[in-house]
Amino acid sequence: MIDRYSNPGIARIWSLEEKYAIWLEVELAVCRAWQRRGLFTADELLEIEKKAAFDVARILEIENTVQHDVIAFLTNVKEHIGPAGRFVHYGLTSSDLGDTALCLQLVRSIDIIKERLSALIDCVREAALLYKDQVMVGRTHGIHGEPVTLGLKFAHFYAELLRDQERLLRAREVVAVGKFSGAVGTFSNIDPDLEEEVCSILGLKADPVTTQVINRDRHAELMSTVGIVAGSLDHMAQEIRLLQKTEGREVEEPFASGQKGSSAMPHKRNPVICERICGLARVIQSNVQVAYRNMPLWHERDISHSSAERVVLADSLIALDYILTKMIYVVKNLHVYPENMDRVLGLTRGLIFSQRLLLSLIDSGLEREAAYDIVQRLSMQVWEQADRSLRELADQDSEVQERLSAHRLNEVFDIAPFLRNVDAIYQRLRLI
């Protein structure tokens, strides 16, 4: 992922320097396990541990000749260690090292993302509570429906993000595995107990059965989860963008001092952060398809997955961490305009009460079809006559007057009943 959309902490995990550092961490853990089994002496292990090192530039130089990154790495490490270096990578194949180290990179990235997601959940929870009673119009198909509250919108996001948190924990468990089962996964030159010991040292579980590689259904499940979390952020960002439209301007993403919105139009305050979140979510979700295609490999292993996942795994995790950070900033600093919400709520001049009027006519004894026809007829007049309200037309309609008293109409055109169960929803979510 380009620097523009990267946070340093997670980007470092996917740097060449850190990848080789993790490779060395894995190889040294295997060496310690072999030494405990008497393959070589404690003094030789001490020499390996003391001298083990690598140089990225030298590895790349060697790789340019051998055309194999693991061999290049091992060659450079042995250059540093000397004769005892012959025990490094003993009994292993390249995928034992690469796949186990990759899972460590994935787990460490997920741990960073978990913290970001937890911080966002806290921000969204706070917003849900702060705006619990801030009434605004709810929309279906983009058209005004009935009143909701801004807090309820955040309550929806809160519940979705909690599900994302559970998904991420499951995905972490799925990829927190290692393998040291050799060339085609049969433990021909290494024993399963050594695999279990080394994986435990590294904070992983031994994959119960592998080919030469850890099967990529694990990585695909992680990527599916990453795509879903990105979709949740896309959902939130798109809602803010829609509510920021000039016609309503009910909320607005933060606009920093000195920020400029357009090179041509000085008045512009564009939702560029939310648009960036939506755009990067598309990249992440497109990458999920690559993870699915990496699942079927030839027989015990090919490397058609390798080049693809070097791009999509790092890019997706780094991008997700980045857009989580941006969404935290947006939610924490969101501009909210209650006066605009009140204005927008009244734009359709009472049409938001059409269902309550329908139900009241049904309660009065009228058949549903007849009641619907009356309310729809009055509603169409409101749409067509810019100076009329639904309440005004109801007051003047003989069929409505015959059925409903003035007191009952006052109850019909009251916002409070729409929101009488908001507390119940919050209690379900344990927000209050």
- The answer to whether 364 is a known catalytic residue is no
C-alpha–C-alpha distance, residues 134 and 191, integer Å: 64
Cβ atoms within 10 A of the Cβ of 93, count? 23
Beta-carbon contacts of 321 under 8 Å, excluding residues fewer than 6 positions away, are 7, 9, 10, 109, 112, 113, 116
Q: Taking phi first (over 0 means left), then psi (-120 to 50 degrees means alpha), and beta for anything else, what does residue 46 get?
A: alpha
Query: Do 183 and 95 form a contact (C-beta atoms < 8 A)?
Result: no
Cβ atoms within 10 A of the Cβ of 217, count? 14
Cβ atoms within 10 A of the Cβ of 140, count? 8
H/E run at residue 144: strand 143-149
Catalytic residue among 15, 118, 262, 304: 262
Rounded to 10 degrees, the C-alpha dihedral 317/322/327/328 comes to 100
Closest residue by Cα to residue 345 from 51, 93, 146: 146
Number of H helices, E strands in the chain: 18, 6
- The answer to whether 354 is a known catalytic residue is no
**Which residues on adjacent β-strands are paired with residue 129?**
none
C-alpha–C-alpha distance, residues 354 and 370, integer Å: 14
Catalytic residue among 141, 267, 299, 407: 141
Query: Do 113 and 10 form a contact (C-beta atoms < 8 A)?
Result: yes
* Residues taking part in catalysis: 141, 262
